[in-house]
Amino acid sequence: MPSITPAMTPERAREIAAGLDLRALPADFYANPYPVYAALRETQPVRQMPDGSYFLTRHADLVAVYRDAQAFSSDKKVEFTPKYGAASALLEHHTTSLVFNDPPLHTRVRKLIMGALTRRAISAMEPGLIMLVEGLLDGIEAKGGGDLIEDFASAIPVEVIGNLLGVPHADREPLRAWSLAILGALEPKLTPEQEALGNRSVTEFLGYLRGLVAERRQVPLDPEHDVLTRLIEGENGEQLSEVELLQNCIFILNAGHETTTNLIGNALVALEEWPAQKAWLLERLGPRPDWDALEPLLTVAVDEFLRFESSNQLGNRRAVRACEVGGVALPEGALVTLCIAAANRDPAQFSTPDVLDLARVNNRHLAFGFGIHQCAGLSLARLEGRVAIGRFLARFPRYRLTEAPTRGGRARFRGFLKAPFSVA
Ligand code: HEM
């Protein structure tokens, strides 16, 4: 089987780094972007790109930007209006979701979501999640294998997020395709087909959600657990407008999909490349895992998978005033790309950053971002990762890929489209 993550010579990494343009990335970059990010971090950690934006690769610089939400705005109206067109469905969606807004809209929506994602609410999801995962593993066992992404990794988040918003099971089928198309439209370069598909997906998704929201208004569920009921009811007399409500539901449904699929898929593929780490983990699981006792160890392992192959590799901010980052002066209006994937391999922050170390301590990775926009679903994502990866390994300790997996080929969301495997 060809190597999953092919090596890249330092010369080639420097060559790509020197001409890096996110709108035109070469195939070997997608296969292994880390040597390119290392070259940038070493030579130009705050690098001005051909389109005038700035590309940041040092951990400390990303933290500084994330921390200063007043100087570095998440509001994307300036960037996205020319990208999607003033009257487009994609523009309305992406500029209304909390992640691409500053306070006060951001604060209002986030508070409502977080109220339904408490520790207690997440613990309550665990038994259903375990049943779901074990059921998927039964299906795989019966077939003797399958596809890590199609049959396992992608099948989990769609159910979890569907439950979170109370989407009836029969309606869940189109969610993944809508989500892939809408988030796919965030890539630095878009084809007209991708743009059209993104717009169509927002419109179809909105059409579906209008019906669901109307039903939920008539028959509300328990707001302690149902995010949709919570968003509809609001808090302290503050309610979201209809557009804010619908667009943020789309965002929540999307945010937890591809990212979590990629966490699970990337982890199970990475273990093929790191057999000693796989053996280490299997030894700890033992023949009859005590899942409660294993929780801390698996949480550490999940965070290392997130650091090592971050599912969301890039973030963006806009400097609302002139400021300085990493010793470089940025003008007012500067667009900044935060390279999470590079920061998570920064040797100034992590020892042996290019090594997968499932027992890593002090793992201050930025896979969930940092600051006021830090992932609202991180506890849920960690739970899904722990249950899915732990139980998969325990059931199929000898699983192996039967052909080279197919990468998604995106700079922002890193993951696989296909990864065929057999269980023995
Ligand atoms: C491994 C899985 C996940 C990863 C790697 C991930 C990553 C991220 C990152 C990097 C951000 C910050 C974006 C920024 O600052 O610009 C974010 C925000 C967010 N994520 Fe996640 N996410 C994951 C799973 C989830 C799940 C399961 C949910 C479902 C509830 C979710 C909901 C959100 C929300 C609502 C925000 C916006 C928070 C805000 O703007 O205040 N995420 N996520």
pLDDT in tens, 147-157: 999 999 999 99
| Cα–Cα distance, 319 to 331 (Å, whole number) | 7
Is any ligand 1 atom within 6 A of the Cβ of residue 53?
no
Helix (H, G, I), strand (E, B) or coil at 403: coil
106 versus 222: the higher-pLDDT residue is 106
Ligand 1 atom nearest to CA at 374: 12
Ligand 1 atom nearest to CA at 157: 27
Buried b (16+ CB within 10 A) or exposed e, 292-309: eebeebbebbbbbbbbbb
Average of per-residue pLDDT across 378-389: 97
The residue whose CA has the least distance to atom 7 of ligand 1 is 368
* Domain containing residue 59: CATH number: 1.10.630.10
Q: pLDDT digit string (tens) for 282-330?
A: 999 999 999 999 999 999 999 999 999 999 999 999 999 999 999 999 9
| Cα–Cα distance, 201 to 174 (Å, whole number) | 9
Q: Is residue 386 part of a domain?
A: yes
Q: Is residue 1 part of a domain?
A: no
| Cα–Cα distance, 269 to 272 (Å, whole number) | 5
Is any ligand 1 atom within 6 A of the Cβ of residue 29?
no
The rounded Å distance from CA 10 to ligand 1 centre is 33
Is any ligand 1 atom within 6 A of the Cβ of residue 377?
yes
222, 229 in Cβ contact below 8 A?
A: yes
Q: pLDDT digit string (tens) for 186-245?
A: 888 889 999 999 999 999 999 999 999 999 999 999 887 788 998 899 877 778 899 999
What is the percent of the chain with per-residue pLDDT over 90, rounded to a whole number?
83
Q: Which amino acid is at 367?
A: A
Ligand 1 atom nearest to CA at 370: 15
The rounded Å distance from CA 11 to ligand 1 centre is 35
Is any ligand 1 atom within 6 A of the Cβ of residue 386?
no
| Cα–Cα distance, 306 to 309 (Å, whole number) | 6
**Is the pLDDT reported for residue 2 higher than 70?**
no
Q: pLDDT digit string (tens) for 393-408?
A: 999 999 999 999 999 8
Q: Is residue 182 part of a domain?
A: yes
Is any ligand 1 atom within 6 A of the Cβ of residue 311?
yes
Is any ligand 1 atom within 6 A of the Cβ of residue 266?
no
Looking at residue 1, what is its pLDDT?
56
The residue whose CA has the least distance to atom 22 of ligand 1 is 375
Is any ligand 1 atom within 6 A of the Cβ of residue 133?
no
Host H or E run for residue 39? helix 34-43
Looking at residue 234, what is its pLDDT?
86
Looking at residue 266, what is its pLDDT?
98
Mutational test site, ligand 1, from 375, 379, 413, max ligand atoms within 8 Å of CB:
375
Looking at residue 189, what is its pLDDT?
82
List all residues 6 or more positions away from 282 whose beta carbon is below 8 Å from its beta carbon.
393, 397
CA distances from 344 to 204, 263, 339, 349, 369 (A): 36, 15, 9, 8, 11
The residue whose CA has the least distance to atom 21 of ligand 1 is 375
Q: Is residue 13 part of a domain?
A: no
The rounded Å distance from CA 155 to ligand 1 centre is 19
Looking at residue 121, what is its pLDDT?
84
The rounded Å distance from CA 157 to ligand 1 centre is 13
Q: Is residue 25 part of a domain?
A: no
Q: Is residue 21 part of a domain?
A: no
Q: Is residue 16 part of a domain?
A: no
The rounded Å distance from CA 205 to ligand 1 centre is 20
Looking at residue 222, what is its pLDDT?
86
- Which two three-digit tokens encode residue 210? 């209008």
Is any ligand 1 atom within 6 A of the Cβ of residue 370?
no
Is any ligand 1 atom within 6 A of the Cβ of residue 375?
yes
Q: Which domain holds residue 100?
A: 40-422
Q: What is the mean pLDDT of the chain?
A: 94
124 versus 127: the higher-pLDDT residue is 127
Domain count, the chain: 1
Is any ligand 1 atom within 6 A of the Cβ of residue 263?
yes
**Is the pLDDT reported for residue 412 higher than 70?**
yes
Burial (Cβ within 10 Å: 0-12, 13-18, ≥19) of residue 237? exposed
Is any ligand 1 atom within 6 A of the Cβ of residue 73?
no
Buried b (16+ CB within 10 A) or exposed e, 190-225: beeeebebbbebbeebbebbeebbeebeeeeeebeb
Q: pLDDT digit string (tens) for 168-182?
A: 999 998 998 999 899
Average of per-residue pLDDT across 259-264: 97
Least confident of 29-33, 120-124, 142-146, 403-407: 120-124
Looking at residue 124, what is its pLDDT?
87
Helix (H, G, I), strand (E, B) or coil at 284: helix
Q: pLDDT digit string (tens) for 334-345?
A: 999 999 999 999
Q: Is residue 401 part of a domain?
A: yes
Q: pLDDT digit string (tens) for 29-73?
A: 999 999 999 999 999 999 999 999 999 999 999 999 999 999 999
The rounded Å distance from CA 132 to ligand 1 centre is 22
Ligand 1 atom nearest to CA at 382: 1
